[in-house]
Chains A and B, each alone.
Chain A
Amino acid sequence: MSDPAAKPGTEAPAAPGSAGTAAAAPGPGTEPAAAAAPARILVVDDEYGVRSAVAQILELEGYEVASAASGEEALALLASPGFDIALLDYRLPDTDGLALHKDILATGRQIMTCMITAYADIDLACAATFQGIDFFLPKPFMPDDLLNVVATLVKRRQARAEEERLRREHEASLLALAEEKSQTHSLISSLRDAVLVINQTGDVVLANQAMTALLESTEPEVLRRPVAGLLRGGPLASLIDTLESPAKDRTIGQLSIGERDFMTSIVTFRAEDGSALGRILTLSDISQVRRLAMEKEKFIRTMVHELKSPLGAVRSIIEVTTDKSMGDDLEAYLPLLRRAETRIDDLVQLISDLLSLSKSEQAKAASEPQLLEVAPLVEAALAGQAEHLAARGITASVQVEPGLPPVLAPIEDLELILNNLAGNAVKYNRVGGSVTISARHEGEWVRIDVEDTGIGIAAENVDQVFTEFFREKRPETKGLEGSGLGLSIVKRLTERAGGRLQLASGLGEGSVFSVFLPA
C-alpha cells in the first residue's frame, strides 16, 4: 500500500471522535505497568515498514506485540486467545479493516480495536464508529499519538472488563436471588404446616397452600388483604388480637378447628435495628400426635389395671389366709388359694402377651420369613390344645387342600398366630363343640380358616375384638380368663407378614377367623 510510514515530525492531526481525549490520558508507559500483565497488541498492516515501526514503538513501552500482513494472517493469530488490542489498517490485500473487524467480532473475542488509515474521511470514521471500532487514528501520526491511543484503549479495555465482570456478578446474584425466592416460596408452599406472613402494617404478604385451604380461599384472594378483615368470622378469628398486637415476640397456643387440633405460633420478625418487620403465623396439625398420645395413655391405663387386678386379688387371698379369716382349717382356704394360683398363671401369660404385642409392633420380625408348610403347623397348634379339647369334649379336625403351596412368614409368627386362634376356638367353644382348621389356595393367597362352634361375637364388637385388652363381657365369658391381647397380636403379625385377617361371626353362631398369607 501507499501509506507512508509513521514519520515523526509530520503533521499529527487530532483523531476524530474521542481521539482528542486520548492525549489527555496519563503519560504513556504507565498503563502496561499498572496492568497485571503487559497488554498484547496485534498490528495488522500490509506494509512491513509500518508494522515494524509500530511494533518497535510499542515494544519499547513494554507492550507485547504481534503483527500480521493480511486479514487471513490476523484471524489465524486471533484464533488463540490473549490479545487485548488490534490495530487495523484499512487497506489490506485480502480484505479491508471494517470487514476484518466484523470477522474479529464474529470470533467473540473481547478485543479493543483501532483503525489506522491514511484514507481518513468522515464517512469511514462514521462507518467504523457505528460498527463498534473503538478508535480511529489517521496516518500519519506521531509515536506519542500512537502511545496515547494505545494507553487509552488499554484503560478502556480494563474498564470494560471490570464493567463486564460487575454485570455478570450482578446478573448472577439476581439469578441466585430469584432462585432462592422461588425455592423459599415453593418450600413454604409445600409445608404441611399452614403459614401466614403479614407485614408491619398488618397486610398479608404470604399464605401457603395449607393456610389458604384452612381459610377456604386462594392465595390471590388473601394477598395484600388486612389480616383482621381476612380472619374475622373464620376459624382463625381468635388469633386476630395476638397477630395485630402480640404481647411477646413469640406466642404459642392451641386451637381446634372442626375435629383437628392445631398448635399455633405467632412470631414477630425484626430488622437489625429491632423494628418489627411483620409476623409469621404457623399452624401445625397435632391431631394425629394427640390421638396417638391418648391411645397410648389409654393402653397404659388399661395395662396397669390388668396387672394390678390379679395382684390385688392374690394379695387379698393371701391376707385372708394369714388373717385366718376362715379359721384354722387349711382346707377352707384351698379353693381361694387355687384361684390365686390361676391368677398368677394368667398374670405370667399377660406379661408374655405384652411382650409378644410389643414385638409385633416392630417393623420387622426377629427372624427372616421362610417358606412354611401349613399342615404340620396347624396340627401342632391343635396338639397344644389337646388337654382342653379332651376336658370339654370338643372335636378338632384339619382340612388342608392337597398341593397347597407353602406360605412365606417367620416361623415363630405363624406359630403364634395359629396357637392364639386355636386357643380361642377352644376357649370360647361350647362343651361338645368342634374346631375345624382348613387351608386352601385362593389366588395369590393361602387362606387358613379357624372355625369354632362357640359363643360367637356380637356384630357391634366384630371390629373391636382386635383392639388391645378388648374382651366381650357377657354371661358366657364370665370366668374365661384372657389377656385381651391375643387377637391384637394375631392381627399385627398377619399384617406384618404381608397378609390380612378376616372375621365372620354372630352371637351364638360360632366364629370363623380367616388368615390370608402370601402364597
Chain B
Amino acid sequence: MSDPANGHGSADSGPWTMLFVDDDTDFLAAQEAFFGSRGHKVVTADSSADALEILEALNPDIVFLDLMMERYDSGFRLAHELRKREHLKDVPFVMLSGVARETGERFDQEGKGLLSWTKLDRFVDKPATGRQLLAVAEELLS
C-alpha cells in the first residue's frame, strides 16, 4: 500500500489491480497510461464478453464499468452478472456513464430494483478524468 512506483501515487494508495471495461479503446489506453504510471496494474476489457472472460482469472481491487456498450444498459447487466461471482461480491464497482445519473431510475423498467441488485458503489459522470477516478478509487479502497 505504500510503494508508489513512480512518485505519482499518494502515500496510501495501491498498488491496485484495476479493471476498466469500456468499448472506447482510446479511453482504455489513456487510463492504462495514467494509472499504469502510478504503479497500478491496469487490465482493460472492451466488451462485456471480454470482461466476463478476463474475470474468470482476475481478482481486481476495483472495477470501472462503462454503462453504454453493446446495449444502452450493458453496464448494469454486466454488474449484475459479476456480482453473482463469489470473488467479486465485495469488490467496488464504479459505473461510468454519460447519462446514468440523470436517467438512472428509468432502468428500473428493465427489472425491478436493477440499481440495487447490481450493488453499484458509485456513479461517475462521463467524461471523467483520471484524477477524478483516482480520487474515487482512493475513497472506496481506503
Complex: A336 Cα to B29 Cα, angstroms: 8
- In the complex, whether A340 has a CB less than 8 A from a CB of chain B is yes
The answer to whether A340 and B131 have CB atoms under 8 Å apart is no
Contacts A305-B68, A308-B126, A326-B37; is A319 near B24 (CB within 8 Å)? no
The answer to whether A317 and B26 have CB atoms under 8 Å apart is yes
- Near A by CB (< 8 A), chain B positions 1-57 give 8, 23-27, 29-31, 33-34, 36-37, 47
- In the complex, whether A188 has a CB less than 8 A from a CB of chain B is no
Tell which of B24, B34, B47 touches A323, judged by Cβ atoms closer than 8 Å: B34
Stretch of A277-285, A296-304, A360-368, A405-413 that contacts chain B:
A296-304
Complex: A315 Cα to B133 Cα, angstroms: 13
- In the complex, whether A358 has a CB less than 8 A from a CB of chain B is no
Tell which of A301, A317, A319 touches B99, judged by Cβ atoms closer than 8 Å: A301
Distance to closest chain A CB from B36 (angstroms): 7
Tell which of B25, B99, B129 touches A304, judged by Cβ atoms closer than 8 Å: B99
Tell which of A304, A325, A339 touches B26, judged by Cβ atoms closer than 8 Å: A339
Complex: A251 Cα to B61 Cα, angstroms: 54
Contacts A315-B129, A320-B130; is A301 near B33 (CB within 8 Å)? no
Interface residues contributed by chain A, number (CB under 8 Å): 27
Distance to closest chain B CB from A346 (angstroms): 11
Q: Contacts of B27 on A, CB cut-off 8 Å? A: 309, 312-313, 316
- In the complex, whether A248 has a CB less than 8 A from a CB of chain B is no
- Near B by CB (< 8 A), chain A positions 307-360 give 307-317, 319-320, 323, 325-326, 336, 339-340, 343
Complex: A291 Cα to B99 Cα, angstroms: 20
Q: Contacts of B36 on A, CB cut-off 8 Å? A: 325
Complex: A308 Cα to B23 Cα, angstroms: 13
The answer to whether A316 and B70 have CB atoms under 8 Å apart is no
Tell which of A301, A311, A340 touches B127, judged by Cβ atoms closer than 8 Å: A311
Contacts A301-B103, A305-B68; is A313 near B26 (CB within 8 Å)? yes
The answer to whether B34 and A325 have CB atoms under 8 Å apart is yes
The answer to whether B70 and A319 have CB atoms under 8 Å apart is no
The answer to whether B26 and A336 have CB atoms under 8 Å apart is yes
Tell which of B24, B47, B70 touches A309, judged by Cβ atoms closer than 8 Å: B24
Q: Contacts of B24 on A, CB cut-off 8 Å? A: 309-310, 312-313
Q: Contacts of A305 on B, CB cut-off 8 Å? A: 68, 72, 98-99
The answer to whether B99 and A339 have CB atoms under 8 Å apart is no
The answer to whether B26 and A343 have CB atoms under 8 Å apart is yes
The answer to whether A315 and B37 have CB atoms under 8 Å apart is no
The answer to whether B72 and A319 have CB atoms under 8 Å apart is no
Distance to closest chain A CB from B26 (angstroms): 4
Q: Contacts of B127 on A, CB cut-off 8 Å? A: 308, 311-313, 315-316
Q: Contacts of A336 on B, CB cut-off 8 Å? A: 26, 29-30, 33
The answer to whether B130 and A309 have CB atoms under 8 Å apart is no
The answer to whether A323 and B130 have CB atoms under 8 Å apart is yes
Tell which of A307, A317, A473 touches B70, judged by Cβ atoms closer than 8 Å: A473
Tell which of A302, A314, A316, A340 touches B72, judged by Cβ atoms closer than 8 Å: A302
The answer to whether B72 and A325 have CB atoms under 8 Å apart is no
- In the complex, whether B128 has a CB less than 8 A from a CB of chain A is yes
The answer to whether A308 and B98 have CB atoms under 8 Å apart is yes
Closest residue of chain A to B109 (Cβ to Cβ) is A294
Closest residue of chain B to A333 (Cβ to Cβ) is B33
The answer to whether A319 and B30 have CB atoms under 8 Å apart is yes
Q: Contacts of A340 on B, CB cut-off 8 Å? A: 26
Q: Contacts of B47 on A, CB cut-off 8 Å? A: 473
Closest residue of chain B to A323 (Cβ to Cβ) is B34
Contacts A316-B129, A326-B37; is A301 near B72 (CB within 8 Å)? yes
Q: Contacts of A307 on B, CB cut-off 8 Å? A: 98
- Near A by CB (< 8 A), chain B positions 113-139 give 126-131
A-B contact pairs, 10 of them (CB 8 A): A301-B103, A304-B99, A309-B24, A311-B127, A313-B30, A315-B129, A316-B30, A323-B37, A325-B36, A343-B26
A contacts, CB < 8 Å to B: 298, 301-302, 304-305, 307-317, 319-320, 323, 325-326, 336, 339-340, 343, 473, 479
Nearest 5 A/B pairs, CB to CB: A312-B127, A316-B30, A313-B26, A308-B98, A325-B37
- Using A302-B72, A313-B24, A316-B127 as known contacts, list a sample of 14 further A-B pairs with CB atoms less than 8 Å apart, ordered by residue number in A: A304-B98, A305-B99, A308-B127, A313-B26, A316-B30, A317-B26, A317-B29, A325-B33, A325-B34, A325-B36, A325-B130, A339-B26, A473-B23, A473-B70
